[in-house]
Structure 1
Amino acid sequence: MAYPVKKAKPHRINEMILAREVRVIDEDKKQIGILPLSEALNLARQKGLDLVEVAPEARPPVCRIMDYGKFLYEQHKRAHEAKKHQKQSQLKEIKFRPKISSHDYNFKLKHIQNFLEEGNKVKITIMLRGREKARPELGEQLLDRLLKDIEGYGRQDGETKYHDWAISLLIVPTIKPVKSGGQDAKTKDAQRSPEAVQNNSQKENSSPTSQ
């Protein structure tokens, strides 16, 4: 049976093998022993299979008897499946105003924590308008508050950036990425630092203050 394989063959097979004698492993992964190359090739042909050099650095080289086309096809299929299920990190952005309400702040904070748990980077932007542009310390205070509230989830990466209209910084995750909905709160708490868990517990037990 022919199997579609696009990439170049990474192994020496059959007549491409250069060694005069090889250590042979059969299709059931059983050791046959050291054989002259010609005898190993004949053995593979009798089975309708290929002789594949899998350890060229060994002395003598190790060769396996197998269906090489099927082997490459299954390797390609496994790599494709792994790539398909691999989660790609994304850059998210959350914008704030210096005079944000406690409700909106906590709502956006939860989104930031979720993004970081999923392995994403988050850009935080504090939008400044009107007279706020002359008071960048308002944005700095909000950023300091955010950085404390995400301890155990992420950390600042690089310098804080100042613009005429905004202050921004980048947060990268420090928590191991988890599948969405795949862990309960206890497991997530175990991944965060004890200090962060304690701080979050204290916040839950205290009423939110208005900003």
Structure 2
Amino acid sequence: MKDININEKIRAKEVRLIDENGKQLGIFPTSEAIRLARERDLDLVEISPKAEPPVCKIMDFGKYKYQLAKKAQEAKKKQTVIQVKEIKLGLKIEQHDLAFKINHIRDFLSEGNKVKVVIMFKGREIFHVDMGEKLAQKIIDSIKDVGNLENRQKFDGRNIVMVFAPL
């Protein structure tokens, strides 16, 4: 909005003029277009400065600014920010704790967020990769109805990493 030229700030010698009803009036000298706008108690607003000649419209600039702000606000409202939530768990997690973590994963997915699940191997647990894969499969099976696996489970150092996306 800060780069919109109005009235005397319009530098072009000639402008293509549109009246307040959207009807094209033709090409006018800028001074004549400003005079026409002032006669109607309105402003001459440069709509398309890159056109040849620039397109200007006779309108109430305050109202135009308000409409632009409203459009920007609506666009911002429609933008949804998808966050990636992370859940870490160890290989020797108890059944109740696992159920608790799975409920958290389900909540995050139902809110529309992605979830990164990290199964960490500590010490000699790294020799029991098969147990980690069983745990990963158990998690995958228990949240099939609210999310799907976006990245297949992969090893990242001493961790198994999976990313789930909401359905």
State TM-score, norm by structure 2: 0.72
Aligned counterparts of 1:162 and 1:146: Cα–Cα separation in 2: 20
User: Over aligned residue pairs, what C-alpha RMSD do you find?
Assistant: 3.4
2:26 paired with 1:17: no
User: 1:46 & 1:111 partners in 2: Cα distance?
Assistant: 65
Contact kept? 1:22, 1:34, Cα under 8 Å: yes
**Aligned counterpart, 2:156:** 161
The equivalent residue for 2:52 is 59
Contact kept, 8 Å, 2:149 with 2:162, in 1: the verdict is: no
CA gap of 1:156–1:150, structure 2 versus 1, over 3 A, is: farther
Q: Is the 8 A contact 2:113 2:166 kept in 1?
A: no
Tell me if the contact between 2:17 and 2:56 (Cα under 8 Å) persists in the aligned partners.
Answer: yes
Partner of 2:68: 75
Higher strand share: 2
The equivalent residue for 1:38 is 31
The answer as to whether partners of 2:16 and 2:27 remain within 8 angstroms in 1 is yes
Describe the SS at the equivalent of 1:27. coil
Deviates more, 1:144-153 or 1:26-35: 144-153
The alignment covers a number of residue pairs equal to: 165
CA contact (8 A) 2:153 2:160 kept: no
Could you say if the C-alpha distance between residues 49 and 14 of structure 1 is closer, same or farther in structure 2, counting changes exceeding 3 Å? same
| Distance in 2 of aligned mates of 1:158 and 1:76 | 45
Q: For residues 140 and 15 of structure 2, what CA distance do their matches in structure 1 show?
A: 61
What TM-score, normalized by structure 1, do the two folds share?
Answer: 0.59
Shift of residue 155, structure 1, vs aligned partner: 0.8
| Superposed displacement of residue 41, structure 1 | 0.6
2:165 paired with 1:173: yes
Q: Provide structure 2 residue ranges, at least 5 long, that are not aligned to the other structure.
A: none
Task: Confirm or deny: 8 A CA contact 2:114 2:166 kept in the other structure.
Answer: no
Q: Mind listing any 5+ residue stretches in structure 1 that lack a counterpart?
A: 1-7, 176-211
Secondary structure at the counterpart of residue 29 of structure 1:
coil
Give the corresponding residue for 1:122.
115
Task: Return the offset for 1:78.
Answer: 3.2
